[in-house]
Amino acid sequence: MSTPSTPQTEKPPRSDGDGRAIPAAIATLVGLLALAAALGVGHLLAGFIAPQSSPFVAVGDGFIRITPPFLLEFAKSTFGLNDKLVLNIGMGAIIALVAVVAGLVSRRSSRPGRAIFMVLGLVGLLAALTSPVFELLGMIAPLGALVAGVGVFGWLHGLALDAAGGSAGEPGRDAADRGGLSRRRLLMSTAVTAVGAAVAGAVGQLRFGSGGIEDSRQAIGALRPATPVPAVPAGADFASLGTPTFITPNADFYRIDTANLLIPRTAAESWSMSIHGMVDRELKLTYADLMNRPLVEKTITLTCVSNEIGGELISTSNFVGVPLRDLLMEAGVQPGATQIFTTSEDGWTCGTPTDVVMEPDRGALLAIGMNGEPLPLEHGFPVRMVVPGLYGFVSATKWLADMELTTFEAAQSYWLKRGWGEKAPIKTQSRIDKPKPFERVDVGKVTVAGVAWSQHRGIDRVEVRADDGPWVVAELATEVSTDTWRMWRADLELGAGSHTLQCRSTDRTGATQPVERVDPIPDGATGWHSVIMTAA
């Protein structure tokens, strides 16, 4: 009887429910509702205090920070521009699973579940504490979430235990009545928790909205550069044949950044930045200072280093801003200051080679506008950097907050620390936009069209071929500038069957794109784009 191997000894389980157990479905519900309460309260407090500290947001941002680059790459190449959405859904699923487990392991005692919610809360707190934009107030939302999670779990758990076989060990004529009462109380409480969590989350989200920043942006109105660009010449694109339009509408401009659920929000009125470090005179700038200078406009094609062969992380805009070189001349860059180290509102950092920005004809901008409008919020409002010819990760800091002149030895930027290149000029590339992969076209004359780019060098020639046949020189669209992409088109004679089309471009230095396929990391992909299609 007392041997250790005796099965099912009649020891009463240690519980706060006198042996009563919550049904699995109710336990699952208790776990999920406690989670909803935690996230709702966290989101609500964060909305009023410090948006970035909302536990869900902070954990997502933290996850992006600690994810090894190869995984980020995998996510980007697999899910493309939906990578953040996939992250958030995946994260939500994992947290929900933990909450369900917390409920299921607590069918008798609430202790394991409360412990799990404590740990979840601490993870949220840790994520907020380690954020590059952490401020002391940022502890309130995760702490509130922790208290709400543990508290609501304990509370609902107690009600669920009461409702579970409520009369166990309770003699009395009204046991059935009492059971019904506690079940109604549980039902009411779960409903109140669900509605409360949803309302709290929604109010928090409303506060996030644009937080008045869109108003600040609208108030600026249209930007009128002192030196506007001429109208885009006729024949600068082959949009009717399937290429993108020469200028990318702001809403279609590709977007890449480490910000996840929340983008930084600084009103133009409260923006200021200092150019400091290895300079003769520190230069302090406000948004009004920039607006009061003669604004220039420049057409620039921006490209992401992560763009795969044939990828779409490239767009063109008329950027409006102040020449960065002029500002640096005023500050007086000291010899040896090889790196312009910029930091965004959300703590992302970027290292740009000073010598490139100081080239008299480079045209780097401290930009405040795109296509005549103030920068859209997701493209860096109020102020960003743009440098023609350099990949975005070493040049295009959005939500600009700080600019320090330093050396490459003294400071390492966000992507450099993660194995990406130090200096990254955009590589000469080309892409076939039409026909689309696996498209069926009529046999005979087939028009192939696409884009090529070699920013700051310019495109000299594009060639296209089918099935390793002879290269056909494509007709180039009107050139707008060497800092922008160039569209092309060519006619090929194709017989019935499946064909592999390929293209390659040559820049003004005479260099032709190498055929060798190289991955985007560390400084940009190489290789020829090919498209398999059918003529029938």
Ligand X SMILES: Nc1nc2c(c(=O)[nH]1)N[C@H]1C(S)=C(S)[C@@H](COP(=O)(O)O)O[C@H]1N2
CA distances in angstroms from 200 to 42, 204, 205, 241, listed in the order given: 9, 6, 9, 50
Q: Choose the binding region for ligand X from 156-164, 256-264, 351-359, 489-497 (rule: CB under 6 A).
A: 256-264
CB 279 within 8 A of CB 334: yes
Nearer to Mo ion, 220 or 390 (CB): 390
Q: Segment near ligand X (CB under 6 A), from 144-152, 203-211, 323-331, 395-403?
A: 395-403
Number of residues that bind ligand X (CB under 6 A): 18
Sheet with 529-535, edge to edge strand ranges: 440-441, 529-535, 497-507, 459-466, 472-473
Which of ligand X, Mo ion, none interacts with 471 (beta carbon under 5 to 8 A by kind)? Answer: none
Q: Between 42 and 520, name the residue whose CB sits nearer to ligand X.
A: 520
Contact residue for ligand X among 33, 75, 152, 302 (CB under 6 A): 302
Site string for Mo ion, 7-46 (x = CB under 5 A): ----------------------------------------
Residue 285 found at the interface with Mo ion (CB under 5 A): no
Region of 80-88, 176-184, 251-259, 355-363 interacting with ligand X (CB under 6 A): 251-259
Q: How far is CA 214 from CA 34, 320, 371, 521, in A?
A: 34, 19, 17, 35
Phi, psi angles (nearest 5°) of residue 41: -65, -45
If one counts every other C-beta atom within 10 angstroms of the C-beta of residue 242, the result is: 18
What letter would DSSP give residue 244?
Answer: P
Residue 331 one-letter amino acid: A
CA 329 vs. chain centroid, Å, equals: 33
Out of 271, 319, 381, 393, name the contact with Mo ion by CB under 5 A: 393
Q: Rounded CA gap, 240 and 224, in Å?
A: 30
**43 is a contact residue toward ligand X (CB under 6 A):** no
3-state secondary structure of 320: strand
Does 304 engage in binding with Mo ion (CB under 5 A)?
A: yes
Asked if residue 253 binds ligand X (CB under 6 A), the reply is yes
Residue 3 class from Cβ within 10 Å (0-12 exposed, 13-18 middle, 19+ buried)? exposed
Q: Considering the complex, state which of residue 220 and residue 313 has its C-beta at the smaller distance from ligand X.
A: 313
Nearest to 49 by CA among 118, 135, 112: 135
**Site membership for Mo ion, residue 241 (CB under 5 A):** no
Interface characters, 311-350, with ligand X (x: CB under 6 A) = ---------------------------------x-x-x--
The span of 11-19, 64-72, 396-404, 450-458 binding ligand X (CB under 6 A) equals: 396-404
Question: Which C-beta is closer to ligand X: that of 229 or that of 256?
Answer: 256
Residue 399 near which of ligand X, Mo ion, none (CB within 5-8 Å, type-dependent): ligand X
63 near ligand X, rule: CB under 6 A: no
Residue 282 CA, chain-centre distance (Å), reads 32
Tell me: does residue 111 bind ligand X (CB under 6 A).
Answer: no
Q: Which is nearer to Mo ion, 348 or 488 (CB)?
A: 348
| CA–CA distance, 127 with 195 (Å, rounded to integer) | 27
Q: Where along the sequence are the contacts to Mo ion (CB under 5 A)?
A: 256, 304, 392-393
